[in-house]
A and B are shown apart, each in its own frame.
Chain A
Amino acid sequence: MNIFVFNCGSSSLKYKMISMPSEKELFGGEVQRIASRTAKPSQIIHEADGGKEIFVESIKNHLEAFSEVMKIVEERGYAKPDIFAHRLVKGSKEIGKDALLDEASFAFLEDLKELAPIHNPPIIEVIKACKEKCPEVPQAIILDTSFHSTIPDYAYTYALPKKLCEELGIRKYGFHGISHQFVSEEAADYLNIPVEKFNAVSCHLGSGGASLCAIKEGKSIDNSMGFSPLQGLVMSTRCGNLDPAVLLKMLAYEEGDFLKVNKILNKKSGVLGLSGISSDIRDIIRAKDNDAKSEITFEIYLWRIKKYLGSYLALLGRVDAIIFTDTIGETVPLVRKLVCSDMDFFGIKLDEMKNRHAESYPCDVSPPESKIRIIVVKTNEELSIAKRAYQLLRHESLLAEKDYRS
């Protein structure tokens, strides 16, 4: 069975055709820097049969990205998928867990947009585009929040009036769950520790969004993102943590225009808001030696990661590994080096040479004397999504068979 996975990030669209149950990747790629203000233009990196093609395009939104990907797929004559599977950043009461989309659930899709205003709208658009393009192919959605369902109540509760929280569904949900789960299982396997005994802090540092996750005995117990993917670390265009009273000042200043404030916090803040030159932290690293604003932007970016790392190390007590993953976590050794520096109290040590030359994943970039292993893992959310979509299909077909027999 071929599962065509789409994984919309805030400024990217990753795609992969995966054959299940063999987990063989038939082709895949990523549309990078969609509509983002960075030093480099948008591009599509397409990979198949060990080869790589790069197309530089001007891509304004995720729908255009989807069209370009489908053009590539059609031009190369790949077989049609048996199912499309999508990462859904945040669900609702109606769509609250991994599910196959039927006509009824399609009706609820529009309502999901506002729950994660950066991510869900492009995902919904891509789902609709898939339906239009291949109406006969079923679609599955895999929730990014499922892994965080084990976060305890004292960690997911905000100290707001109970009635208000219940009415508006206010609580911490956590995000990047598909990735945190995948890399923690990979790291546990790599270190030969049973996942149910594995304690780690997973640092998912993407080029768009980023979050840290405290993992105890294989389960998420806290995540730096909260009710929405806005809370937590400094991200490419998202502010991360912010004093709620500042937000009220912003609302008053904008005369109650919450859409405008929302846009500022989601699209004009973070690395872009601080630096004024780029939303990509790699551009900032290149510019920091000659630009004071870039220098301080990079410092703030790292500092927020360090503070969350300290919080989760204190929370977990015994920690087997710190995991770095996704675009920045995997490919920018300087970020790993600086996040792990001056953390002797926790017994963290990084091997500079191993860190600089980390190319084959997973790999351990800590020296033997480090009390905590520092593991770089290549995240593969698409494989994780394909596995869960496959399980979903098997479950559904088993149920259908059971119904038929009874």
Chain B
Amino acid sequence: MPVVRTSIARLTRLVGINDVEKIIETLFNLKCETELENSEGIAIEVPSERIDMFSIEGIAYAIRLYLGLEKPRLTTPKPSFKVLVEPPTKRPYIAVAAVKGVELDENSLKELIEFQERLHTTYGRNRRRIAIGLHDLSKLPSSNLTYKEVDINISYMVPLFAKKRMTVKEVLVSTEQGKLYGEISLNGDRHPALFSGNEIIALPPVINSDITRLDPTTRDIFVDVTGTDINAVISVLNSIVHSLMFYRGEVLGAEIVYPDRVLLAPDLDFKTIVVDMDFASRWLGVPKDRLVSEVPKALQRMGYIVQSINLEQIEVKVPPYRGDILHQVDVVEDIAIGIGYENLGIEYIQTYPEKKPGKDSKKLMVEVLREVLVGLGYIEVNTLSLISSEILKLVSDEPFPRIVNALSKELDAVRNSLIPSLLITFKNSQYATLPVKIFEIGEVVERCNGCYNNWRNSLRAAFGVMDSEIRFEEIHADLYSVLMEIGVSKDISLEPYRRKGFIDGRCGLVKYRDSVIGVIGEIHPEVLKFIGLEYPVAIVELYLELLTDIIEEVYLNS
């Protein structure tokens, strides 16, 4: 979630009240978390879908509305610009507007640039989806603009903060922004550019021209927004204009002429949406008559203009800066917020005392195993399934899922057995009083060739002993004790087995009749030494899905 920082003094001045507590409480209701920074600053975490609140002015406006200090107002832009569009291949859309009478100083200019960057990085997907240019309107050479692709070798401009004219190619190659964003919309030797008259004033999404640079004395701001998604371009322009309009200056609009259509920007019309009263009432659990009486005020403080309301429907005008309204349910949420969640009242749900969950044999077995292993002196551990592929390969040749974008070699795979997890735990417990006896019950991931997703989870239990010397009969006895407690010790046999990482002749498969339900053995000294373990270790791993089926068959179905 984006964080907006400003001074408390500026926020209280813009909101128009000095009660900081009240402002913070209002922000809480408007989905914002706040944190006071030192004695003068405030950091406000704003919801990512409310791009109109990415600026201090937008936040202040929302607070003023919620507190009833402001009413939603309609504005009509004065047509002032004309933009001819020859849609660039990789960045076809543009919208522009200007707002006059903006209060700027060193600090608020900095905040304005931060607002722009916030839109670029989140909603703008790092300028890929949308990019914004802010200009000093008074420096604009002409109100006739063109947005088109230019040949980067023969077009010239003075990029922001540069001293001389250079080719667009040079801008892309030599400036910092050029290196960062130059590839995004480059189409062979051609790149999108915005002309005012004959001057390039912006090279979207890379950099603006220096000739229209903003400074603290700027009062009238010209905005261009370009992008790959026309809806996003319009939403962002609307939210910027909305913020700058906070100072109640005049809004200048543009006619955007595409080859196939003409678009007016900014689009400051409130769009009408009809909310079905039945839906709103059922969704929230609030009776319709209560809604009829409370919705007008609730929606007004959320910036809407309610045109009509009755027991059938609410006809409401949605403010133009709310690009996040996709469905009537979004208006319903704003009704709830406008009423206040704490005022909605809560309703307890019915429990079903008559419906007892049936015995789940897997859960039952897990609980039995935990009881028995604890009784045998084993300590339960809780380890990560993410593990190092190097360790997995030490004790098994079975496939395992590899993480494509792992952050470290220690966690670059998902375990396909609990044995490596126990080995790591033993390694880290060597300094503890011996013997160390541990167990874990958890899920591992196995290859599944018939599965749509190639892998499946498998529940396992593993227990092991580390001591200064190991007597195999102890873990062997514990295995039989465990099997006896889950009631399957009768048809068990151990079959000699060669397994990677175990000592030959000291490893066996645990079988119930003909099914393999686990493995038992002593870890090979070579493996122990490789992972840095100096004490012998004996381990059992049981496959619980098979065991569950057996228990189901032996006990629960008979």
The answer to whether A and B belong to the same complex is no
Residues of B within 8 A of A (CB): none
